[in-house]
Each structure stands twice: as structure tokens, then as C-alpha cells.
Amino acid sequence: MPVRIFDALSPRQPRLQLRVRLPYGVHRLLHDPGALLGLILVSLVVLTALFAEQLAPYGPTEGSLLDAKRPEVWQEQGLEGHLLGTDQLGQDILSRVIYGARVSLAVGFFGVLLASAIGVTLGMSAGYLGGRVDEAISSIVNLLLSFPYLVLVIIIATVFGRNLLNVIIIFGITDAPVFARLVRGEVLRLRNVDYVVAAVGLGAPTWRILLRHLLPNLVGPLVTLMTFEMSAMIFYEAGLSFLGLSVPPEVPSWGNMLALGRKFLYIFPWMSIYPGLAISLTAFGVNLLGDWMRDVLDPRLRRAD
């Protein structure tokens, strides 16, 4: 079995990582209140998104104009059953915030997945094949990276229609250069490592080197970057909604709620406070989790403190 020779030469990073580092990660998680808080926050948001129907007291677009414009339940004008008040159409703010988690998480999760898939493909090709391929890919990547991100997203979003899939695709494409740059750099470093050179010397096919020897070593930095990019994407989706360029206005997304809330900011401030709080808490949780992942998965960045 000639195939096994290549495997024997490679240090088999993924399994090794799991055996050695998982306990470290768990240890770190239990002793780092920040990481624990991050995990709790993110799990809460994910569960909220998954079980929105069960958790929300009302449907996202359900409401009566008779109940409209009421503040939180603890305020004088508050209405029983509408904990965080209602908007100008009588829709329950709490329910809309709960359903809004779906849009933010969907964009964050699938956007990052698409961006990393494109970025890894481009970055690996550029880093491993080098030469003209590298030049072409790198120049496009650098071009896109030098562009103010928000402006880039705005131009594309004005062309595409307003729906969830388009938003995910836009973020997936525009964010890919960040991943491509990371992967290219890592591949350039790894291709000269002994076990890769040995595998090449033994005549291992390119796909095998890329998938078995390089990709597993990219997992650590990739997952870390994915976490941070996910929180950035949740931000940008809200921003795009805020400008009226993301999902249609009737969809309960946090950015849409803020865009609407801005119009009523002086009279019904509660319409703006809670969706923004939801964005901040989610970003906070994802960032804490990202810090933990970086510490655990990327030993070079492991901090002494």
C-alpha cells in the first residue's frame, strides 16, 4: 500500500491536535470566565434562533394597531404580555428580536462558510501553485482588500435584489479575500516544511498534498478567523439592513428593526435599544469565543498570561 507511506511521513496533525489540545481547550474554557461567558452567550443566541417559534410569545409580524407604540412592561404605559414593548404596528419587540437572531446567524454562519470555501480554494492555489496563478489571485485579493469594505458591499448590494440568499452570497464573495490572504501565507510557509517536501519527493499527487498535508494544518488559524469574521458579518448585515440594502423590510432582522427604530428614536426609543443590544451581545459572545479558539487552536499565538 504505497499510500500509507505518505501518511506515515505526515505528523497527522488533526488527530494529534485533538488528543493533545482538547484537554487544554477544556481546561482553558473552565478557567477562563471570558471564554465560558462567550460560550454561554453564543449557545443562547443559537438556541434562540433555532427555537424562535417556541420562545417568542408572538409571531414576528403579528400585532394589532390597538397595542401599538407601547413601552416596556415596567413603564407606566406598558402593556401586559409585551415585555419589551411594541413597535408602531403593534408588533411585539421581544418576539421580533428573537426571530431576528435567525437572520443574523444565518448570514454570519453561511456567509463565513462560503467566504472560507472560496478563500481556501483561492489561497491554496495561489500559495501552492505560485507563479502566474499566484500573481493573478494575489492582485485581485489585494485590490479587494484595499477597498473600504462597506463601500464594496454597498455597490454590490445595490445591484442584487433584497433577499437572504443574495446577502449571504454578497458577504461570502466580498469576505473571501481575507481568507485567501491568510491561507496563502500559511501555505507558503508550510510548503517548505520537511514532511511536505518529503511527500512531494515521494511523488504524492498535488491534491493529496493539499488535502492531507496542508489543509489539516490550516484548520486552527482558519477556525479562529472564521469566528472573528462571523461577528464582523453580523455587524455588516445589520449595517446593510440599516441602509435598506439587506433582507426585505418586513423580515424581522436586527438591522431592519434599528432602521425603523431610528425614525421613531425620539418618541419610542425602546424600538431601537433592544435590537442593538442583541447585536452587541452576540458580537461580544462570538468575540470571546474567538479569543478562546485562538488560544486553543493556534499554539503560536498562545499567550503566556
Partner 1 sequence: MLVLVFFTVRLTGDPVGLMVARNATPEQREAFRVAHGFDRPLAEQFIGYLGNALGGDLGKSLRLHLPNAELIMQRLPATMELALAALLLSLVIAVPLGIISGVFPGSPLDLLARLIGLAGQTIPSFWLAMILILVFAVNLRLFPTFGRDSLEHLVLPAVALSVASMGQMVRLLRSAVLEVSRENYIRTARSKGLSEIVITLRHVTPNALIPLVSVVGVNFTYMLGGSVYIETIFAWPGLGTLLNDAINDSDFPLVQAITIFIAAFAIGLNLLTDIAYDLIDPRARQR
Q: Residue 75, interface with partner 1 (CB under 8 A)?
A: no
Residue 172 or 204 with smaller CB distance to partner 1: 172
Q: In Å, how far from its chain's centre is CA 187? A: 23
**What part of residues 213-242 is at the interface with partner 1 (CB under 8 A)?**
231, 235, 238-239, 242
Closest CA to 305 of 34, 36, 26: 34
Closest CA to 190 of 28, 198, 285: 198
Q: Residue 156, interface with partner 1 (CB under 8 A)?
A: yes
Binding segment for partner 1 (CB under 8 A), chosen from 78-86, 87-95, 126-134, 266-274, is 266-274
Residue 210 or 245 with smaller CB distance to partner 1: 245
Among 258, 260, 296, 297, binds partner 1 (CB under 8 A): 258
Q: Residue 147, interface with partner 1 (CB under 8 A)?
A: yes
* Spatial separation of the C-alpha atoms in residues 253 and 102, rounded to whole Å: 8
Q: Yes or no: say if 150 and 245 are a contact pair by the CB < 8 Å rule.
A: no
Angle between helices 131-146 and 93-129 (to 10 degrees): 150
Residue 63 or 290 with smaller CB distance to partner 1: 290
Residue 3 or 265 with smaller CB distance to partner 1: 265
Q: Residue 264, interface with partner 1 (CB under 8 A)?
A: no
Helix ranges restricted to H, the chain: 3-9, 13-31, 33-50, 52-55, 93-129, 131-146, 149-159, 164-190, 194-201, 206-208, 215-242, 254-263, 270-297
What is the smallest separation between the CB atom of 264 and partner 1, expressed in angstroms? 11
Angle between helices 93-129 and 164-190 (to 10 degrees): 40
Q: Which residues bind partner 1 (CB under 8 A)?
A: 139, 143, 146-151, 154-156, 158-159, 231, 235, 238-239, 242-245, 258, 261-262, 265-266, 269, 272-273, 276, 279-280, 283-284, 287, 305
